[in-house]
Amino acid sequence: MELRIALAGNPNSGKTTLFNSLTGSNQFVGNWPGVTVEKKEGKLKKHSGVILTDLPGIYSLSPYTLEEVVARNYLIGERPDAVLNIVDGTNLERNLYLTTQLTELGIPVVIAVNMMDVVRRNGDKINFSELSRELGCRVVEISALKGEGVMEAAQAAIDAAKSAKTLPRHTFSGVVEHALAHIEEAAVHHMPAEQQRWYAVKIFERDEKVLEQLQLKPDLLSHIEQDIRAAEEECDDDAESIITNERYGYIASLMESCYRKKKAGMLTTS
């Protein structure tokens, strides 16, 4: 059986370096359908039944840039068996923003924390077991440049794809969860269970591409709109910003529990 693993990450996270290291010369280059964004696929070294698809480098799964739309159309439309999410360990806080969205898709995710050679050289510490527990997925430390941990990360993605399990993840505030529960029940209950959450969050955000795709009936839309407005009033913010801010709040708490920066310039008196 062929397994399809998508490689996702921010620009400059080391995605190309990792892709090349995992596939070697076994690559096919083309374009994503209908757009002039380059699409690279390759067979995983020593695993000819595993196809790795390199997604465009993105910061978010919002619908605003061509790269984001290409990446999310693939993830939602083609549903790969697993996502290997490469994050830059020297820029963990910024990179985890995409991670919080990928883990909502209902596709097994493995996180490869890259640039670990630099993180270690800087003396910074990442608590991998805590990060893994919080995010509900395997987290593997790698240095794509040095080829360290890369096959372990790929193997973890294969294992995740085979187990096909997605674990519970972060929850939003009560008022948002209340609206999401209503949206799930009213608009997306006919979808496979693991896909409902992502669609509910996107409907809450009034994501134009998702609303266009789902073509919800006007009375259903106005019913949902009441829940969204109630949350907006309570939080005194627009729906999309509420979600963004709660993600940042969650990531800040993750950083607090999982990341220790080496204190610079401390002098001791003893």
Residue of 13, 62, 99, 100 that binds ligand BGO (CB under 6 A): 13
Rounded CA-CA distance 82/78 in Å is: 11
Are the C-beta atoms of residues 83 and 102 closer than 8 Å to each other?
yes
Number of residues that bind ligand BGO (CB under 6 A): 16
What type of residue is 246?
A: E
Least distance (Å) between residue 37 CB and ligand BGO: 14
Residue of 5, 7, 14, 95 that binds ligand BGO (CB under 6 A): 14
- Cβ distance to ligand BGO smaller for residue 101 or 143: 143
Least distance (Å) between residue 17 CB and ligand BGO: 3
Tell me how far the alpha carbon of residue 32 is from its chain's centroid: 20
Residue from 249, 13, 260, 9 nearest 130 by CA = 260
Side-chain-side CA neighbours of 152 within 13 Å: the count stands at 14
In sequence order, what are the beta bridge partners of 143?
Answer: 148
Any contact of residue 12 with ligand BGO (CB under 6 A)?
A: yes
Least distance (Å) between residue 2 CB and ligand BGO: 25
- Could you say which residues in the range 122-181 bind ligand BGO, by CB under 6 A? 143-145
- Cβ distance to ligand BGO smaller for residue 118 or 230: 118
Any contact of residue 11 with ligand BGO (CB under 6 A)?
A: yes
5: its two tokens: 């693993």
Rounded CA-CA distance 132/173 in Å is: 22
Binding site for ligand BGO (CB under 6 A): 9, 11-17, 57, 114-115, 117-118, 143-145
